[in-house]
A and B are shown apart, each in its own frame.
Chain A
Amino acid sequence: MSAADASMPPGRPRRWVWRPRRLTREEWRNLRIGLAFISPWLIGFLGFTLYPMLASLYYSFTDFKILDTPRWVGLANYVQMFKDPLFWKSLTNTLYLTVVGTPLAVVVALGIALLLNTKGIRGIGVFRTIFFLPVIFPVVAASILWLWLLNPPYGLVNQLLGMVGIHGPGWFYDAGWAKNGIILMTVWAAGDVVIIYLGALQGVPRSLYEAAEIDGAGPWVRFWNVTVPMISPAILFNLITQGIAAFQSFTQAYVVSAGTSNSGSAAAIGGTQNSLLFYGLNLYNNAFRYFHMGYASALAWFLLILVLIATFGLFRISRGRVYYEGEE
């Protein structure tokens, strides 16, 4: 299954050469049929992606409460954004999750995948099933479960810590620890990352290891000089997808802050001292609690720009460090 013709990494675009020429009858026919077949996507793209994107860009320059017509305010929403302490709070919370949580999940998953890839391991299917189970487990159920596991006085985690003489932290009730609780959940549910690594690891030719072994390379050297370069596309892919997911993190923090909140059911969400106010939650509060649709649209566009910059940044950094098969 080769993805070579279209799904090449965006970092190294193939050059598209537009040759204006007349299409043959056959080509016209194919174009018509092709467009007809992709029309569900085309309509969807125009109606559910392109139009709303442009509309939200427009809204982001307006004062818009859903009932009134949008009123042009220029850059006011963006100015307000940079002055809003909750915006900065949500941004730093999200960056913490992305910068601390994502690499942790990606490294732990790699460790598990390496163990699974040990030659001659039995029961790999059983282990794979176990590590993947948290991925399909409903996020809401998982969040309720971890709310319980990390309950400060009664949760299993602190009870076990207490048995070895450690006074466990307040987790979701402690602003300094709440995000670590979310990170713990993320690492637990990173089975899909494990599977992707495993696929990549199984694609590394044994011969390369054997050759390295003959050259006298120890396991550590083999790991760094053979494994890491060979699976570098998978590492990059996991970093990007997990990073984007962390950037858009919502449900866990919502369930946890509603579950720990004592400000009634109709209150804003964000956890104790807004320690779980991630970017998506701040956007949600502004759009659907305060109905500042214009301001929320500005937040959405800023998020889009951040995600694009981060993704292209990662591609940039990885250039020359990621090995694609068939490159040489």
Chain B
Amino acid sequence: MRSLKTMAMAGALLAFGAIGMAAPAAADTVNLTLRHCWGGDAEMAAMQKVVDKWNAANPDIQVKSIGGSIGAEEITADAAGGNPPDMVIMCDNSAVAGFAHDGVIAPLDDLLKAVGADISDIIPSSLAWTRYQGKQYGLPFGQDTYALYYDTDAFKEAGIANPPKTMDELWDDAAKLTKWNADGTLARAGFIPNDPYKNTEQTSAYFDCQFYDEASKKVTVNSQACVDWLNWFKKWYDTYNKNNAMVNVIASRTGGDAGLLISGQQAMGIYGEWNTGGAYLPVVAPNLHYATAPIPSQDPAMYGAAFMNGNAFMIMAGSKHQQEAMKFGMYLMTDDASKVMILQNSSVPQLKSLLTDPQLTSIPHFQAFLDIAAHPKSWTTPMISAYAELIDGLNNALDAVLTGGADPKQQLDDLAASVQAKLDANGG
């Protein structure tokens, strides 16, 4: 019996042994943990460089960084658990509202005041996508936006001089650029509205479709404008998807986001700014001749603007050193610190001062994105706690309309009702 007990204990020890012990903190120094979302070797190294520089200059506040892509569930679980990090950088700000609503992250307004932070250099629209119900819950740390990439050789061949500016021009140009095979498959699509992403967030505002109205706290995704917008997607499929021709082109994409542009199967596409970067198109497709321009808009006032979101720096509500964390956050908002990651990822800066930085303006095809970032009408995700449900539902509705023959109005009505119910239950 005794040996049995010993064995059970040994087993338990074996199992518990893997927990490992956290290193004890030295006195007088505040140790902070930063969980960030970058996982590639080069990205991790770049972020480490940023952190190392801080650590060298601030012996009293030492930051330990942990990389690797993050899901919202990880942060929520960390908050529920015993040992959350002090700071988090998510590569996707859409979770900010949910975290703020659930009390996972701390509001920053008082902290910013306490450390005497000056945030006037941060682009206001970038601050907007880390705000929830009037309070600042995060700081932008590099952002993403989208533009029309087009194959200049194909444009020459079709005799098109300038990129399209309106949706009508886009339609006409696409028709000229489309080439069919004898068997009814597409040799080259002019434009595919839902590749490489569904492009719901990326195109809605060009049709004046707003997902949510902040003032009335109503989900407005079933407005007539939004119905028209879904019908715009549908028009492409009705015309070009006979025998699944367009779906087959999407299914054949390999080689990253811009794969269809590279393979010549698509002449125009909506891609993010990071594709221009040194790690992607210049390396993968050195012979591709392309250019970038703002995405065409139905509403002329919106031409030049685009959807923006990005990496959000947040301080966990459970952190015991929020002021120190805030100081580190403001360090990230300096030109030097921001530029390291922005150049590494070829992303759009969140700082006004960097919009004209020669190191960024000299990246080929990058100017279009810097202009979008400066455009006052550029928009972002609605900051609501049930955003995951909204965007999932919207993507499902789009699928149902494009390939399932569903009625756009019906789909959007159902979606609006179900998300509204969740929001009302959540209180925002």
Q: What is A's interface to B at a CB cutoff of 8 Å?
A: 33, 36-37, 39-40, 63, 65-68, 84-85, 151-154, 167, 170, 173-175, 260, 262-268, 270, 272-274, 285, 288-291
Closest-CB distance, A77 to chain B (whole angstroms): 12
Which residues of chain A come closer than 8 Å to B244, judged between CB atoms?
Answer: 152, 170, 173-174
Q: What is B's interface to A at a CB cutoff of 8 Å?
A: 1, 4, 8, 11, 69, 71-73, 76-77, 79-80, 92, 94, 102-104, 185, 194-198, 243-244, 247-252, 386, 388-389, 391-392, 395-396, 399-400, 403-404, 414, 418, 425
Query: Once the chains bind, are B4 and A154 in contact (CB under 8 Å)?
Result: no
Tell me whether A173 and B250 are in contact in the complex, defined as CB-CB below 8 angstroms, given that A152-B244, A290-B388 are known contacts.
yes
| Consensus secondary structure, chain A interface | loop
Query: Once the chains bind, are B250 and A273 in contact (CB under 8 Å)?
Result: no
Query: Once the chains bind, are B403 and A263 in contact (CB under 8 Å)?
Result: no
Query: Once the chains bind, are A262 and B403 in contact (CB under 8 Å)?
Result: no
Query: Once the chains bind, are B195 and A262 in contact (CB under 8 Å)?
Result: yes
Tell me whether A154 and B391 are in contact in the complex, defined as CB-CB below 8 angstroms, given that A67-B80, A85-B414 are known contacts.
no
Query: Once the chains bind, are A262 and B196 in contact (CB under 8 Å)?
Result: yes
Query: Once the chains bind, are B104 and A67 in contact (CB under 8 Å)?
Result: yes
Query: Once the chains bind, are B388 and A273 in contact (CB under 8 Å)?
Result: no
Query: Once the chains bind, are B414 and A67 in contact (CB under 8 Å)?
Result: no
A–B complex contacts, Cβ < 8 Å, 19 sampled: A36-B4, A68-B102, A151-B251, A152-B247, A152-B252, A154-B252, A173-B247, A173-B248, A173-B250, A174-B403, A175-B403, A263-B198, A263-B395, A264-B197, A265-B69, A270-B396, A272-B399, A274-B399, A290-B386
Which residues of chain B come closer than 8 Å to A265, judged between CB atoms?
Answer: 69
Query: Once the chains bind, are B251 and A67 in contact (CB under 8 Å)?
Result: no
Which residues of chain A come closer than 8 Å to B92, judged between CB atoms?
Answer: 266
Which residues of chain A come closer than 8 Å to B4, judged between CB atoms?
Answer: 36-37
Query: Once the chains bind, are A291 and B73 in contact (CB under 8 Å)?
Result: yes
Query: Once the chains bind, are A266 and B71 in contact (CB under 8 Å)?
Result: yes
Closest-CB distance, B219 to chain A (whole angstroms): 16
Which residues of chain B come closer than 8 Å to A289, judged between CB atoms?
Answer: 72-73, 388, 392
Which residues of chain A come closer than 8 Å to B1, judged between CB atoms?
Answer: 33, 36
Q: Which of A67, A152, A260, A262 contacts B248 (CB 8 A)?
A: A152
Tell me whether A262 and B79 are in contact in the complex, defined as CB-CB below 8 angstroms, given that A67-B103, A167-B243 are known contacts.
no
Tell me whether A170 and B391 are in contact in the complex, defined as CB-CB below 8 angstroms, given that A67-B104, A262-B194, A263-B197 are known contacts.
no
Tell me whether A153 and B400 are in contact in the complex, defined as CB-CB below 8 angstroms, given that A263-B197, A266-B92 are known contacts.
no
Q: Which of B11, B243, B250, B418 contacts A262 (CB 8 A)?
A: B250
Q: Which residue of B lies closest to A287 (CB)?
A: B73
Query: Once the chains bind, are A40 and B8 in contact (CB under 8 Å)?
Result: yes
Query: Once the chains bind, are B392 and A173 in contact (CB under 8 Å)?
Result: no
Q: How many angstroms between the C-alpha atoms of A64 and B418 in the bound complex?
A: 18
Q: How many angstroms between the C-alpha atoms of A152 and B248 in the bound complex?
A: 6
Q: Which of A67, A84, A266 contacts B102 (CB 8 A)?
A: A67
Query: Once the chains bind, are B77 and A170 in contact (CB under 8 Å)?
Result: no
Closest-CB distance, A106 to chain B (whole angstroms): 31
Tell me whether A274 and B403 are in contact in the complex, defined as CB-CB below 8 angstroms, given that A40-B8, A153-B185, A290-B389 are known contacts.
no
Closest-CB distance, A17 to chain B (whole angstroms): 31
Q: How many angstroms between the C-alpha atoms of A268 and B69 in the bound complex?
A: 16
Tell me whether A262 and B252 are in contact in the complex, defined as CB-CB below 8 angstroms, given that A267-B392, A290-B388 are known contacts.
no
Closest-CB distance, B341 to chain A (whole angstroms): 19
Q: Which residue of A lies closest to B250 (CB)?
A: A262
Q: Which of B94, B388, B396, B404 has the most CB of A within 10 A?
A: B396
Query: Once the chains bind, are A67 and B400 in contact (CB under 8 Å)?
Result: no
Query: Once the chains bind, are B247 and A170 in contact (CB under 8 Å)?
Result: yes
Query: Once the chains bind, are A273 and B400 in contact (CB under 8 Å)?
Result: yes
Which residues of chain A come closer than 8 Å to B76, judged between CB atoms?
Answer: 66-67, 291
Q: Which residue of A lies closest to B104 (CB)?
A: A67
Q: Which residue of A lies closest to B94 (CB)?
A: A266
Q: How many angstroms between the C-alpha atoms of A218 and B414 in the bound complex?
A: 59
Q: How many angstroms between the C-alpha atoms of A167 and B247 in the bound complex?
A: 14
Q: Which residue of B lies closest to A172 (CB)?
A: B251
Query: Once the chains bind, are A170 and B388 in contact (CB under 8 Å)?
Result: no
Which residues of chain A come closer than 8 Å to B77, judged between CB atoms?
Answer: 66
Q: Which residue of A lies closest to B399 (CB)?
A: A273
Q: Which residue of A lies closest to B184 (CB)?
A: A167
Which residues of chain B come closer than 8 Å to A68, judged between CB atoms?
Answer: 102
Closest-CB distance, B69 to chain A (whole angstroms): 8
Q: Which residue of A lies closest to B70 (CB)?
A: A266
Q: Which residue of A lies closest to B254 (CB)?
A: A154
